[in-house]
Every structure is written in C-alpha cells, then in structure tokens.
Amino acid sequence: MAKTALITGASSGIGYELAKIFARQKYNLVLVARSENKLNEIAAELKKAHGVDVVVLPKDVSLLASSQEIYDTVKQKGIDVEILVNNAGFGDFGFFTETKWEKELEMINLNMTALTALTKLFVRDMVRRKSGKIMNVASTASFQPGPLMAVYYATKAYVLSFSEAISNELQGTGVTVTALCPGPTESGFQNAAAMNDSKLVKGKKLPKSKDVAEYAYKALMNGKVVAVHGLMNKIMAQSVRYSPRAVVRSLVRAMSERTH
C-alpha cells in the first residue's frame, strides 16, 4: 500500500521539487500552499506522470487555525501521513527598525508556529504507528544571528534547535526528524524577501531547488538529524562554532549588505 507524504509550501521551489521526488518514489501526496490553481496544475502533472493520488489543500499556513484544519481534513479523508515536510516559510530583508511588523508576525507564525503545530499534530500518530519521518526546513541561517534579516535568522535558529531536540526525544520510537539547512537557493525566496540586491545572492550562481531537494530526500530517508546542503555551507556552519560571536555578527552583516 502506498504511503503518503504531506508537503507545505509545495507550489514552488524545494517543496515542488520534493513533491516530484516523492511521486516518482510512488508516494501519495497531500500538497499544501496558498495557490489552488498552481496546486491543481502540479497535482494533474504528478498524477499523469506517476499514477499517484494527490490531495490538494489550498491553505495559508501562516494563519493560526490552518494547522488544525489541515490535520482534521487529512484525518477525515482517512489518510495516514507517513512523511511530513514542513517546507513553507519566507524571509524579509532590511533593518529591524524599518521592516514591517505585520510581515514579521506572519513570518513568525509560518516559520515557527505552524511548523511546530503541524509537527505536534502529526508526530503523535507516527509514534502510535511506530513509523514516520518529519523534515523541517531550516537554513544555514540557523547557525548564527543575521543582521539585516534579524527575525528570519532567529526563526530558523528555532527550527534547528526544536528539530534537534525532538529528534533526540523520539529515539527508539521509529520516528525520525531531519532539519534541512540549505544555503541561498535558486527559488522564489529572494523575491519574497526583497533581497535580490544583497551580496548573499546578487551575481552568484545558486544551487538549484532540484539539487537541494534530491539531497534532502536522501538525508530524510537516512534519518540524518542535521542536513546541511553543500560543502561550503557545511564548512561555514562548522566554523561559526569556533569564531568569536562579535566576528560572526560583523561577517554576516558584511555578507548581507546591499550592493551599490
């Protein structure tokens, strides 16, 4: 019997690429994102290509009621979610004194609250079945503070810390938790974060979402707890641990400044 993977933020980027991989591996899918039209297009594409069942849930996951609604809908349909991918998230760029609180609150709700709520709702069923995998999409931003993207970096630090902690708690239950930590990736993220002219991304050849998703799938299946994509990202993540924090703050600030 085919197993089911639920993916948030499934309409583009890493989420969409993961949906394609799971479908190729004959997983049925529950795809969550705001754009119903886009999700329906993807569902039709994956059903035709791989013959899998795809349930489309057009939801704004940043709304606090959405997590429970997603869980309830899945249960009503009699679907057991074997794999949960908390991929939905976004960032914002600029000085904290100048950025909009409304956008940051939405970011906190999506990047942290919804991710935690969905994990809480689905992990108990997984533990009861003694089988399941959760992937929470963190970031290389998880490893240090991020001047000019202060709230975003902080939300991703939460995702990493939370994922590592519950991974430890779940040892021996048959359930694994993976924190995926990609660096800047070729996706719609930069546009949404208004950071296309940041030194982090401008003029750089970024990894493709497809490559990050392939790496993520393997890490998830192997039960890897912290999965940092790319050699340079791995080196940077490790080096932060041995560098004075003042130096790290200054370095991230210099790397993030807008190009002029």
Catalytic residue among 59, 133, 156, 224: 156
* Per-residue exposure over 218-241, b if at least 16 CB sit within 10 Å of its own CB, e if not: ebbeeebebbbbbeebbebbeebe
Q: Are 102 and 50 in contact (CB under 8 A)?
A: no
Catalytic residue among 152, 158, 215, 217: 152
Give the Cβ contact number of residue 129 at 10 Å: 13
130 is catalytic: no
**Count of residues making up the chain:** 260
Burial class (CB in 10 A: 0-12, 13-18, 19+), 94: middle
SS3 32: strand
Q: How many whole angstroms separate alpha carbon 83 and alpha carbon 74?
A: 13
Residue with tokens 């919804």: 114
156 is catalytic: yes
Q: How many whole angstroms separate alpha carbon 160 and alpha carbon 142?
A: 6
> CB pairs under 8 A, 24+ apart, for 234-239?
236/140, 236/143, 236/183, 237/140, 237/143, 237/181
In the chain, where do the E strands start and end? 4-8, 28-33, 54-58, 81-86, 132-137, 175-181, 226-228
Q: Are 100 and 147 in contact (CB under 8 A)?
A: no
Point out the residues that are catalytic.
152, 156
